[in-house]
């Protein structure tokens, strides 16, 4: 293969064939996503039905709408730019954006009647088929906007849920996304005309109500709600069962006294890239928001040979929908139960301090509800290869205790390994033992799971002075030179 697939851009003339040499898990997932790619200006009609597997879908044309209620103009622009990236990630073409300055969103139409008329003209002139609002709309606001604009209207929450639905791969991830979608959909169910059963209240609803007024007594929308509630209950049971499996795996690592490190941070900050740089995991890396959702755990070694695990968690975003926080709670609790939190920040972002604040707010919410104290935090500023000298000076001023790396180029990765090793919990029991040469596996385990302070080869065996964990100290007890470990 002449070019590494990780740097391969999408080619409109792609013939559907890939070389499979040296593919990683992330490479295979990238191929799968490229097989059905949305491209601007293309028709969805197929001239040859045999092309169905690799067809290209026309992008949905959208107009963005935001309400600026607080903060500076730069904050409002950053929020709209992020909404545009979310829309593009979901497979849309952003045509135009409209922002209104208000003290609070309009209770009826989110942006007010005058702005709705202006927005309708923008939709008609651009030929847009969808309007995306930068906030969570109430069911009433959603209905009013669709009636007045005559196009599909969705909010920021629905957009993020759609991206999660596209990118979820594991059974747990799909169940968590479906649960969040159903919780969002429940209060927004609507039905008109033929979707309603005939029923009447009061005297008309009695036995003499007349022809056409005696119905089953339940609307279709109520039937849908009952089915959704049943499905939500089933999904909660499935997620709880999967959580037991995760607890079992975590329990094994805890029993073996293996330190665990969680990687958290804003979406597209480079968490998966950092995991690949530290462990060679080969997970999917893509310049897109919420490219990876399913947590990945990999084993790594400190420079002095101590083993630990790294877990990549789901990304965060400003105003992360509470449905997602609720559905992904079991996944996010990995952060609270780790020994060290590696908080990744996008150094190339215009306002990295806002990213840090958004992540810490969500983690604080989970911490308050679970009651588990948050682990020690190591702030890691990524993508410094895309930051100039002035930008680096600002970052060092904002985050004086952070580590500065580039997961893409490898700059600062070795220094980060040393920093992680310094902050990791170390073995606490000091033991001096004379291990016979016939028990070489014990010496190997001390090197792997403990910290060897000194080692000397004698006629009787290997004399070790090491710092180990309690379980390993019990194994070394029979070889201790002073009868018991220190």
User: Known binder of ligand: residue 268?
Assistant: yes
User: Known binder of ligand: residue 270?
Assistant: yes
> Alpha carbon of 107 to those of 140, 386, 466: distances in Å?
8, 42, 67
Which residues are bridge partners to 336 per DSSP? none
User: Known binder of ligand: residue 304?
Assistant: no
User: Known binder of ligand: residue 316?
Assistant: no
Angle at 230 between CA 224 and CA 234, to 5 degrees: 140
User: Known binder of ligand: residue 290?
Assistant: yes
Cα Rg, the chain, nearest whole Å: 28
User: Known binder of ligand: residue 278?
Assistant: no
User: Known binder of ligand: residue 110?
Assistant: no
DSSP 248-285: HHHHHHHHTT--EEEEEEBTTSSHHHHHHHHH------
Angle at 183 between CA 187 and CA 295, to 5 degrees: 160
User: Known binder of ligand: residue 346?
Assistant: no
User: Known binder of ligand: residue 77?
Assistant: no
User: Known binder of ligand: residue 313?
Assistant: yes
Both tokens of 108, joined, read: 């009826």
User: Known binder of ligand: residue 287?
Assistant: no
User: Known binder of ligand: residue 294?
Assistant: yes
Both tokens of 196, joined, read: 């309603």
User: Known binder of ligand: residue 315?
Assistant: yes
Both tokens of 344, joined, read: 């990744």
**How far is the C-alpha of 464 from the C-alpha of 299, rounded, in Å?**
26
**How far is the C-alpha of 257 from the C-alpha of 140, rounded, in Å?**
53
Both tokens of 420, joined, read: 């992680």
Contact yes or no for 266/361 (Cβ under 8 A): no
Q: Which residue bears the tokens 């530290």?
A: 278
User: Known binder of ligand: residue 254?
Assistant: no
User: Known binder of ligand: residue 383?
Assistant: yes
Annotated binding-site residues read 265-272, 290-294, 312-315, 382-385
Annotated binding-site residues for GTP read 265-272, 290-294, 312-315, 382-385
Annotated binding-site residues for Mg(2+) read 272, 292
């Amino acid at each position: 293969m002449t070019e590494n697939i990780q740097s391969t851009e999408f080619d409109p003339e792609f013939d559907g064939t890939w070389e499979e040499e040296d593919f990683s898990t992330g490479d295979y997932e990238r191929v799968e996503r490229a097989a059905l790619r949305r491209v601007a200006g293309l028709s969805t009609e197929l001239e040859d039905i045999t092309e169905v597997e690799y067809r290209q879908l026309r992008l949905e044309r959208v107009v963005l709408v935001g309400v600026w209620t607080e903060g500076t103009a730069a904050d409002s622009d950053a929020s709209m730019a992020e909404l545009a990236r979310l829309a593009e990630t979901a497979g849309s073409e952003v045509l135009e954006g409209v922002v209104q300055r208000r003290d609070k969103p309009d209770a009826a139409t989110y942006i007010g009647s005058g702005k709705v008329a202006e927005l309708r003209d923008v939709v008609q002139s651009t030929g847009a088929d969808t309007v995306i609002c930068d906030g969570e709309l109430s069911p009433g606001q959603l209905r009013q906007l669709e009636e007045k604009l005559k196009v599909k209207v969705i909010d920021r929450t629905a957009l993020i849920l759609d991206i999660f639905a596209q990118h979820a791969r594991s059974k747990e991830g799909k169940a968590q996304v479906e649960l969040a979608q159903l919780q969002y959909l429940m209060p927004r169910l609507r039905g008109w005309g033929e979707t309603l059963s005939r029923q009447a209240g009061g005297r008309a609803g009695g036995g003499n109500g007349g022809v056409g007024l005696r119905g089953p007594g339940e609307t279709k929308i109520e039937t849908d709600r009952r089915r959704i509630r049943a499905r939500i209950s089933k999904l909660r049971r499935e997620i709880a069962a999967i959580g037991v499996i995760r607890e079992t795996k975590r329990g094994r690592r805890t029993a073996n006294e293996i330190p665990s490190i969680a990687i958290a941070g804003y979406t597209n900050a480079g968490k998966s890239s950092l995991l690949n740089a530290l462990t060679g995991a080969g997970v999917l890396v893509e310049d897109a928001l919420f490219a990876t959702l399913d947590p990945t755990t990999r084993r790594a070694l400190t420079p002095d040979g101590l083993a630990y695990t790294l877990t990549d968690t789901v990304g965060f975003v400003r105003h992360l929908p509470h449905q997602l926080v609720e559905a992904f709670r079991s996944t996010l609790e990995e952060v609270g139960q780790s020994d060290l939190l590696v908080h990744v920040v996008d150094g190339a972002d215009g306002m990295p301090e806002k990213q840090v604040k958004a992540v810490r707010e969500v983690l604080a919410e989970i911490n308050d509800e679970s009651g588990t104290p948050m682990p020690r935090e190591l702030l890691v500023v990524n993508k410094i290869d895309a930051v100039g000298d002035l930008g680096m000076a600002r970052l060092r001023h904002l985050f004086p205790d952070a580590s500065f790396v580039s997961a893409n180029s490898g700059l600062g990765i070795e220094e980060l390994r040393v920093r992680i090793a310094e902050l990791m919990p170390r073995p606490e029991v000091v033991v001096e033992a004379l291990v016979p040469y016939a028990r070489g596996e014990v010496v190997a385990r001390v090197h792997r799971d403990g910290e060897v302070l000194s080692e000397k080869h004698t006629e009787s065996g290997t004399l070790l002075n090491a710092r180990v964990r309690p379980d390993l100290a019990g194994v070394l007890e029979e070889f201790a030179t002073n009868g018991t470990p220190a």
